[in-house]
Amino acid sequence: MTGARAVRASVLAVLAVLVVPVWGPRWQVNHGEVFASDAREVAVRRGQVFSLHWELAVDPGRYHRPVAPRPDPGVAVLTGVDEVPGDPDRLGDGGELYLVFRAEGRGTTELTVDNCREPCGGSADGFRERRTYRIVVR
């Protein structure tokens, strides 16, 4: 193997290690262990990928976003958001939402998520729900 090929193979191997935990085969998002949005405590192992999941209605509350203070990055890190479109032939099906995290180190932290009708913080936002989740990494 030439020097350039060896370097390219090494880079691809490193990328595979970094990317595969968050993205599954064929670039499908790896949601890891999925917790329903009504769970109040999430218990996972260090290094584990996990997600919070919402089945979305068309209205109200289509927008979900983590708000400050963010979870302790030494405990859990948000790695992605996966929005799965709803079926337009099913009345009220707004799709699904996954907030995907990776457990970094042992400890406990909190995550607060706002659920709003309009993009959170907009002046027309008449609906807002706030949920706080306790994340425990063992």
- Read off the pLDDT of each residue in 53-65 and give the average, rounded to a whole number: 73
Q: Alpha-carbon distance 64 to 129, whole Å?
A: 9
Q: Is 97 exposed, middle or buried, given 0-12, 13-18 or 19+ CB atoms closer than 10 A?
A: buried
Task: Find the range with the poorest average confidence among 11-15, 31-35, 39-43, 49-53.
Answer: 11-15
User: Do residues 65 and 110 both lie within one domain?
Assistant: yes
User: Do residues 10 and 41 both lie within one domain?
Assistant: no
Q: Using pLDDT thresholds of 50, 70 and 90, give the confidence band for residue 92.
A: low
Q: What pLDDT is attached to residue 17?
A: 42
User: Do residues 62 and 129 both lie within one domain?
Assistant: yes
Task: Find the range with the poorest average confidence among 6-10, 50-54, 60-64, 133-137.
Answer: 6-10
Global model pTM greater than 0.75: no
Domain span at residue 114 reads: 31-137
CATH number, residue 98: 2.60.40.2020
Task: Find the range with the poorest average confidence among 28-32, 61-65, 77-81, 121-125.
Answer: 121-125
Q: Using pLDDT thresholds of 50, 70 and 90, give the confidence band for residue 119.
A: low
pLDDT tens for 93-103 read: 778 899 999 99
Q: Alpha-carbon distance 112 to 97, whole Å?
A: 16
User: Do residues 126 and 74 both lie within one domain?
Assistant: yes
Q: Using pLDDT thresholds of 50, 70 and 90, give the confidence band for residue 29.
A: confident
User: Do residues 104 and 55 both lie within one domain?
Assistant: yes
Q: Using pLDDT thresholds of 50, 70 and 90, give the confidence band for residue 6.
A: low
Give the residue from 73, 75, 134, 71 showing the smallest Cα distance to 106. 75
